[in-house]
């Protein structure tokens, strides 16, 4: 039986009442490919920050990602609302010249934190798109994926 369905196949929130709280950490990644115009602007700053008419792109994306991670329970149906212990967003430019956004979230709780990390990375990527679209629409959010999770029933690390 799926954890989010009752025996009668109706949706339910997973009952974590009897579980023990443990330390849980998750890291998710979003990859954003941008066109040559935006890459040239990134080159001018050494890949550290990008400024548009809307402001500092990476700094704004970091704030948006953290805010989104904190709101995950409001956005994803049946997701437990969790008081994050910590959330960090790191944005870099890879050797492949793509913007890489890593969101790491941690908590001591009865349920996992993967959705918060995935939501943070996703919204940070969407923010990069929104702030850069006036420069070029040649922007693709290539992927959003869980890179690792620790704590709970099992650990996972993507190679």
- The residue with tokens 């109706």 is 10
Per the structure, the count of domains in the chain is: 1
Q: Does the residue 88 lie in any domain?
A: yes
Annotated catalytic residue 74: no
Cα–Cα distances in Å, from 97 out to 47, 73, 77, 159?
Answer: 9, 33, 35, 20
Tell me the CATH number at 144.
Answer: 3.30.70.640
List, in order, residues 6 or more apart from 100 with CB less than 8 Å away. Answer: 29, 30, 31, 32, 91, 92, 93, 94
pLDDT, position 8: 72
Q: Does the residue 13 lie in any domain?
A: no
Q: Does the residue 10 lie in any domain?
A: no
- Whole-number Å distance between alpha carbons of 43 and 132: 15
List, for residues 39-83, the tens digit of each pLDDT value.
999 888 888 899 989 999 999 999 999 999 999 999 998 889 999
Which residue range forms the structural domain that includes residue 62?
A: 29-149
- The residue with tokens 């443990």 is 22
pLDDT, position 11: 78
**Strand blocks (E) in the chain:** 22-34, 51-52, 55-56, 86-93, 99-109, 139-150, 156-157
Q: Which of 43, 130, 138, 155 is catalytic?
A: 130
pLDDT, position 18: 79
Q: Does the residue 7 lie in any domain?
A: no
pLDDT, position 146: 98
Q: Does the residue 100 lie in any domain?
A: yes
pLDDT tens per residue across all 159 residues of the chain:
556 666 677 777 777 877 889 999 999 999 999 999 999 998 888 888 999 899 999 999 999 999 999 999 999 988 899 999 999 999 999 999 999 999 999 999 998 899 999 999 999 999 999 999 999 999 999 999 999 999 988 999 998
pLDDT, position 156: 96
């Amino acid at each position: 039986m799926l954890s989010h369905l009752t025996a009668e196949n109706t949706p339910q929130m997973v009952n974590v009442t009897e579980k023990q709280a443990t330390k849980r950490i998750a890291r998710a990644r979003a990859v954003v490919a941008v066109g040559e115009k935006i890459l040239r602007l990134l080159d001018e700053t050494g890949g550290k920050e990008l400024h548009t008419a809307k402001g500092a792109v990476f700094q704004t994306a970091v704030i948006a990602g953290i805010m989104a991670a904190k709101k995950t329970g409001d956005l994803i149906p049946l997701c437990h609302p969790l008081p994050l212990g910590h959330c960090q967003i790191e944005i870099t430019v890879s050797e492949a010249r793509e913007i890489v956004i890593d969101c790491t979230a941690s908590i001591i709780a009865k349920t996992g934190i993967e959705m918060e990390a995935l939501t943070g990375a996703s919204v940070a990527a969407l923010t990069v798109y929104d702030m850069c679209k006036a420069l070029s629409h040649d922007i693709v959010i290539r992927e959003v994926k869980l890179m690792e999770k620790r704590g709970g029933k099992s650990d996972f690390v993507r190679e």
